[in-house]
Amino acid sequence: MSYAFIRKRSKNYIVYLEYTDETTGKKKQKNMGSYPLKRDASKRLNELKEEIYNDDLVSPNDMKLEKYLMDFLEKYKPNLSITTYNCYIRICKKYINPMLGNIKLNDLKPIHLQNYVDDLVGILSPQTIKIHINILNLALKRAYKLKLVKYDIVDCIEVPKNKKFK
């Protein structure tokens, strides 16, 4: 388990990360930045705490979309009804993970999501595809806020429209 804190040294505020080294088992501290203003140090501290909370500082280079999605849904579960949560898990396991799950999170591009949506157009109704996009939107907006992805990917894709007349 690791945690972060602020320490004042001379005129600067320094954000530290304290963690246990896996090889030696000893506690270590790492300087995560020095700031002249306390509010800047507090912002960095909050970012660091969010990273610690979300999977103990796993490098986003190693994280695949499948692992991130399942972890996100598990943490987002209190905000969903039981039925919705089960539906989201089923959609992830049946559609999203087999098609997009093996892509690394920082390698994910809008073209991947657009191809995914285009592949589903003939199979599923536009209303169902919007549920798939909603799942990806919730997860990737959080990833964007946590700086795991560089930009909001879901905003770049085109959503299929419902046909008024068949």
Q: Is there a single domain that holds both residue 116 and residue 47?
A: no
| Tens digit of each residue's pLDDT (9 = 90 or more) over 131-164 | 999 999 999 998 888 878 888 888 888 887 777 6
Q: For residue 121, what is the domain's CATH number?
A: 1.10.150.130
Within-domain flag for 59 = no
- The answer to whether residues 38 and 108 belong to one domain is no
For the segment 94-120, what is each residue's pLDDT rounded down to a tens digit?
999 999 989 988 888 999 999 999 999
Q: Which has more confidence, 56 or 68?
A: 68
* Domain count within the chain: 2
Top-confidence residue, 160 or 53: 160
Q: Both 97 and 27 in a single domain?
A: no
> Is the residue at 165 inside a domain?
no
Do residues 43 and 69 share a domain?
no
4, pLDDT greater than 60: yes
Q: Is the pLDDT of residue 58 over 80?
A: no
Give the chain's radius of gyration (CA, Å).
Answer: 20
Co-location of 70 and 134 in the same domain: yes
Q: Within this chain, do residues 97 and 149 fall inside the same structural domain, yes or no?
A: yes
Residues 71 and 21 in one domain: no
Q: Are residues 69 and 36 in the same domain?
A: no
In this structure, is residue 124 part of a structural domain? yes
Residue 164 pLDDT: 64
Asked, for residue 22, whether it belongs to a domain, the answer is yes
Per the model's pLDDT, the better-predicted residue between 157 and 1 turns out to be 157
Share of residues in the chain with pLDDT > 70 (%): 91
Residue 41: how many other CB atoms lie within 10 Å? 21
**Does one domain contain both 79 and 146?**
yes
Is residue 72 located within the same domain as residue 114?
A: yes
Confidence of residue 2 (pLDDT cuts 50, 70, 90): confident
- Please give the structure tokens belonging to residue 116: 């995914």
Full domain range(s) for residue 32: 3-53
Which pTM does this prediction carry? 0.61
List CB contacts of 159: < 8 A, sequence separation 6 or more.
117, 126, 129, 130, 133
Tell me the C-alpha distance between 116 and 83, whole Å. Answer: 24
What is the C-alpha separation between 127 and 112, in angstroms, rounded? 20
